[in-house]
Structure 1
Amino acid sequence: MLPLLLASSSVYRRELLARLQLPFTCSSPDIDESPLAGESAIELVRRLAQAKAQALAASHPGHLIIGSDQVAVLDGKIIGKPHTFDKAREQLLAASGASVTFLTGLALLNSQSGHCQLDCIPFTVHMRTLDPARVEHYLRAEQPYDCAGSFKAEGLGVSLFQRTEGPDATSLVGLPLIRLVDMLLAEGIQIP
């Protein structure tokens, strides 16, 4: 089995990958994540997932390298990580009663053969109608300022949802494990 490398510094992705009970290491790729002119959200996450994996290929020969990237889309526009309370409040109030689609790009690069599997997994969150007091209470309780969409689905953020839809709930957190298992199996990796 080729060693497994997660091309990410994300604690959330590391925790998800650990669920598969496979040994892996992590390394943070250094890439420019700016969107290209005219690039759709799907094209962006697919390109960045692959770029993250490829950025580590030369320094990690003979590895299976996992790259992943995610954006949240509200009303056809990409919304990023809020980084501040005010921006998070603005994002959540804009999402009140609406649907936010998370697009997660996933790449599995075999740095030995150069073969790369690439996909984009969508997941939609239909938000409850939120009032400013509820939003502020949530933000003070969980402080999800490093999360696209301004909530942590694996925590109290789920209380803001009316319902969800998509093929893989782990894609919402940033690493679609169901699709990743398919990719790993195609590389001959057996999952315990």
Structure 2
Amino acid sequence: MAELSPQKLILATESTYKIELLERLGLSFEACAAHIDETRLPGEAPAAMAARLALQKARRVAADHPNAFVLGADQVIALDQTIFQKPGSVEGAVDQLMRLQGKTHRLITAIALRTPSGAELASEVAFEMVMRPLTEQRARAYVETDQPLFCAGSYRIEAGGIRLFEAARGDDFTAIIGLPLTRVWSLLEQTGYLETL
């Protein structure tokens, strides 16, 4: 009986954080940026937005690589129905932290896997992030140290941002960084991808 050759796995991102996370699983894969419009739709709930964008990223890359398994991911930070984007500046980051300080917000990470047959599977992980009360001085000192200018919510929890929190409640801490590895492995198992290794 001929051995199965592993099929290509592509991570639809250019994020170094997501790439480093997926490397932990010991799988061979490529990374390819998925350039899509990430504008929120009118009335769209935060979890629905994360799920839609993860699937759009997987579909976009799969269009150029139809014979590959393509994994898309997206993360949304929401306080009630307000979604926080990447601040892009020190002042924007300080403003975001002051809006989040002393409150509990949701960090929603969605993934979508598109197979060569066109099947699509999805999953999501939501964390409750309990931020400590902060003064503007402390918020500014954190931003100057960690420079989270391209992180939605203006914190890097995998770095010094952990100091900003009293608690993080969820079931897969890798989701906080951007890619829930337990869910990724489950989707790969469900599609039969792991049987080709």
TM-score, length of structure 2 as denominator length: 0.93
Equivalent-residue separation in structure 2 for 1:189 and 1:56 (angstroms): 18
1:155 paired to 2:159? yes
Is 1:29 paired with 2:66? no
Give yes or no for the alignment of 1:55 onto 2:60.
Answer: yes
Where does residue 134 of structure 1 map in the other structure?
138
2:26 maps to 1:14? no
Secondary structure at the counterpart of residue 57 of structure 1: helix
Partner of 1:68, secondary structure, is strand
Separation (CA, whole Å) in 2 of partners of 1:177 and 1:124: 18
SS in 1 for 2:64: coil
Deviations 1:120-165 (A, max 9, x none): 2111210111111211111111100111110001000001110110
Structure 1 portions without partners, runs of 5+ = none
Aligned to 1:42: 47
Alignment-derived partner of residue 108 in structure 1: 113
Deviation string, structure 1 residues 58-107 (Cα, Å, up to 9, x no partner): 21121110101111001331111111100110111111110121111110
> Which residue type is aligned with residue 165 of structure 1?
R
Identity %: 37
Matched, 1:172 2:187: no
Measured after TM superposition, the shift of residue 176 of structure 1 is 0.9
Who is 2:190 aligned against? 186
Aligned equivalent of 2:147, options 107, 119, 143: 143
Q: Distance in 1 between matches of 2:8 and 2:143?
A: 39
Pairwise CA RMSD of aligned residues? Answer: 1.4
3-state SS of the aligned residue for 1:29? coil
8 Å contact 2:46–2:81 — kept in the other structure?
no
CA distance in 1, matches of 2:141, 2:129: 20
Distance 1:113 1:189 in 2: 12
CA distance in 2, matches of 1:179, 1:133: 38
Given candidates 86, 90, 96, the residue that maps to 2:95 is: 90
1:137 alignment partner, SS class: helix
Counterpart of 2:86 (choices 62, 76, 81) is: 81
2:3 matched to which residue of 1?
none
Give 1 or 2 for the bigger CA radius of gyration: 2
CA contact (8 A) 2:45 2:81 kept: no
Q: Give yes or no for contact 2:12–2:33 (8 Å, CA) kept in 1.
A: yes
Give ranges in structure 2 of 5+ residues lacking alignment. Answer: 1-5
Aligned to 2:7: 2
1:31 maps to a residue whose letter is I
Give SS of 1:145's match. Answer: coil
User: TM-score, normalized by length of structure 1?
Assistant: 0.95
